[in-house]
Chain A
Amino acid sequence: MKRIAALASASIVAIAATVCGSAAFAAPLTFWNGFTGPDRPTIEALTKQWSDAHPDTPVQMDIEPWDSMLQKLQAAMASGSGPDVVAFNFAQLPRYAESGFIMDITDEVKAGGALDPSVWSDGLKQVLQYNGKYYAAPLNFATLMMYYNKDIFAKAGISEPPKTWDDWVAAIKKTTVTGSNSQYGLLIPDHETIPNWPILLWGNGGDVIKDGKPYLDDAKTVGALTLWGDLVLNDKITPTGLSGADADKLFQSGKAAMEITGPWMTNGFTAAKLNYDVAPIPTGPGGPVTLADSIVLVINKATKDPKAALDFVAMWNSKAAQLKIANDTGFPPLRTDLSGSPELTNEWAAKFSTVVPVSRFSLPNQVNFAQIDGDVFTPMIQSITFGKEKAAEAAQQANDQLSDLLNP
């Protein structure tokens, strides 16, 4: 009986020693992100790889949907806690940089080591900075292309994807069918979506904000809003009030000829056995353009191990990591020196990387990104496409609101 008790107490001591020991020696690096989709295994694999190579600072990853992660993050950061490293959309960066919660990594970037800015596109460099200082390193990079349903194109007698706006509008009208068996020419989601409308404004030479000033009342912006607003309202080329997820679903069900979105949809569309391909967005009077998007990595200023955090953040920028992301998920690599590389074996990654040179970020460096997008831009688009206001009126009103937001 005594022996059993001794054995038991010895094993308890041993377990306690192991538990305390591991806690004392390996201080984990906490990493929050929202990669709940098909790219999750890739993110997990790269994180595990880094953890295996750094047993003293293994990464403890917390993956939950972006929305809830961001809600938690605000509270955590404001109370001085929060994870060591966070991945979020570039649009979140200005707010956190302005608040002083995240680390300035300008010196590390300027040093040109693992975070060499010379391989980043100018647009990417711009959104990684706030007030001239680097606060983030990129994790991935995406461009948007025009997805088209090959069967619908063939049935409408369209032999190749349109290259100019004139051909595009003709193709959209040709593939739009109204009535009970409706089919949409081009899906243009207006809320809860990767931005579509800014691309149409840029294509005509317009913009939302230009040189820090509201640009919605510009003639070219209004021209684009009038042209596309009219196609939505009168030609019914897309359902109105469409969210991004609704648009993806519609295209996937074969009820739409074209949709503008990013490389993340290729997995789902291929799995649904849709006969589709992607092409650059047709060129408008304003020249070729598409939207760029990026998930960026930032470091909590309160981190206890800035060196390990920086090393982890830099890992994502390496050639090996970017090739794995590109080949696994179809995202174009964020490094310009990998564009056209023979190691880029994923056909989608190769296609999406062709439009990187003409890609632009929407509303870069805007602290009020959420307000501009949700309270000014989306209501303006809906007001036009639901026929509540003429494009010029809605644009003027939105321009005034925008002006208030930019100069509080």
Chain B
Amino acid sequence: MSSRTARLQPSRPWPAMPNRTTIAAWCFLAPSLIVLAVFVFWPIVYSFDLSLHKWKFSADAQEWAGFANYARMWRDARFWNALGNTVYYTAFTVPLGVALPLALALALNRAIPFRALLRSAFFLPVIASFAIVALAWRFMLDPDIGLLAYWLSFLGMPHVSPLRDPNLAMPAVIIASLWKNLGFNMVIYLAGLQAIPIVLYEAARIDGANSFQQFWNVTWPQLRTTNIFVLVISIIGAFQVFDPAFVMTPGGGPLFSTETLVTYIYRQGITNLNLSYAASIGIFLFAVVFLLTLAQLRITRSWED
């Protein structure tokens, strides 16, 4: 409620001292701006420059290549495969990564036994390093010594080896990622749920709303800003997926079925030393994520109006 009341107050006009305040503002911004400039903006500019050259390991001056690296992407089947895999991954992890944590948050927002324990349990994988989580999943899914194979053997089912199967490798990576990230979005939703004023539910109940109607008319609209945040962060994260695919299925997985844009960038840049080509894919990814984020903000802003 406090944020609402704050917004209702008339904004105080700033004193007419633009110079001093501007200087102060820049001073406050400087530390973050410098860090961002050195570690974010400059690398982006440099990568773009790199993508326009034909970088060679030891050359003193790098040969100009124009947009040849971008033209190469167009013809490169491995690039399209990696893009397709990334979209596949995003198409499943984002909707499920929103729906499941929301359901969990709704369940754990009630007074149920062992609530704190359950919340911690679901959040625990978030703290663990993805490399370790991916290794654990790799072990679980191992067809010869893994847990899954062991359980399936009791049911008399044949051995499955998801990580060695071109059709099952990506679903396995998706499931592992969902499990790992579930807790993060759950906590965000819990915070969102707790910020919803109780009076709204009381009013709804007085009006005779059932629990679905309460969810649809109170909870869901009230979670709008949370949804925007979760969606934007999830899509950006999904497009940049690296660790689970890289650790669970090294080398791009069977028939490159788990090779994503970022693992392909790694492959081209670090393994093959095609730094310029890797940079051009990086710039492409940057553009995609940038446009997606812009579009999302545009769409979600139109919801607000």
Contact = CB atoms under 8 A, between A and B. Distances in A.
| A and B are partners in one complex rather than unrelated chains | yes
Interface of A: 71, 74, 78, 95, 98-101, 179-180, 182, 191-192, 239-243, 246, 249-250, 253, 255, 368, 370-371, 374-375, 378-379, 382-383, 386, 388
Interface of B: 56-58, 78, 142-145, 153, 156-159, 161, 163-166, 250-251, 253-256, 267, 270-273
A386 B255 contact: yes
B250 A192 contact: yes
A122 B67 CA distance: 44
A246 B143 CA distance: 10
Contacts of A388: 255
Contacts of B254: 240-241, 382, 386
A370 B159 contact: no
Nearest to B165: A241
Given A99-B58, A241-B166, A241-B255, 19 more contacts: A74-B273, A78-B58, A98-B57, A180-B159, A192-B251, A239-B164, A240-B254, A241-B161, A241-B164, A241-B254, A242-B164, A243-B250, A243-B251, A249-B145, A368-B272, A370-B273, A374-B251, A379-B255, A386-B255
Given A100-B58, A191-B251, A375-B78, A370 B271 contact: yes
B279 to A, nearest CB: 15
Q: Which of A98, A179, A240, A368 has the most CB of B within 10 A?
A: A240
A71 B251 contact: no
Q: Which of B78, B256, B267, B271 has the most CB of A within 10 A?
A: B271
A95 B255 contact: no
Nearest to B249: A241
A379 B159 contact: no
A249 B142 CA distance: 11
Given A99-B57, A182-B159, A240 B164 contact: yes
9 nearest A-B pairs in the assembled complex, by CB-CB distance: A241-B164, A99-B58, A241-B254, A99-B57, A191-B251, A370-B271, A382-B255, A371-B272, A192-B251
Contacts of A371: 272
Contacts of B159: 180, 182
Nearest to B267: A374
Contacts of A95: 57, 273
A253 B145 contact: yes
B57 A78 contact: yes
A52 B191 CA distance: 62
Contacts of B158: 179-180
A378 B250 CA distance: 13
A374 B251 CA distance: 8
B58 A386 contact: no
A253 B144 contact: yes
Contacts of A246: 142, 164
A58 to B, nearest CB: 30
B156 A180 contact: yes
Contacts of B253: 241
Contact of A378 (B57, B153, B251, B273): B251
Contacts of B153: 180
A294 B190 CA distance: 57
Contacts of B165: 241
A251 to B, nearest CB: 10
Nearest to A243: B250
A135 B43 CA distance: 34
A133 to B, nearest CB: 16
B266 to A, nearest CB: 10
Given A249-B145, A378-B251, A379-B255, A370 B272 contact: yes
A98 B272 CA distance: 14
B273 A375 contact: no
B273 A386 contact: no
Contacts of B250: 191-192, 243
B163 to A, nearest CB: 8
Contacts of A370: 271-273
Nearest to B156: A180
17 contacts: A71-B270, A74-B57, A99-B57, A100-B58, A101-B57, A179-B158, A180-B156, A180-B157, A180-B159, A191-B250, A240-B254, A241-B161, A243-B250, A253-B145, A371-B272, A374-B251, A382-B255
Given A99-B57, A382-B255, A239 B161 contact: yes
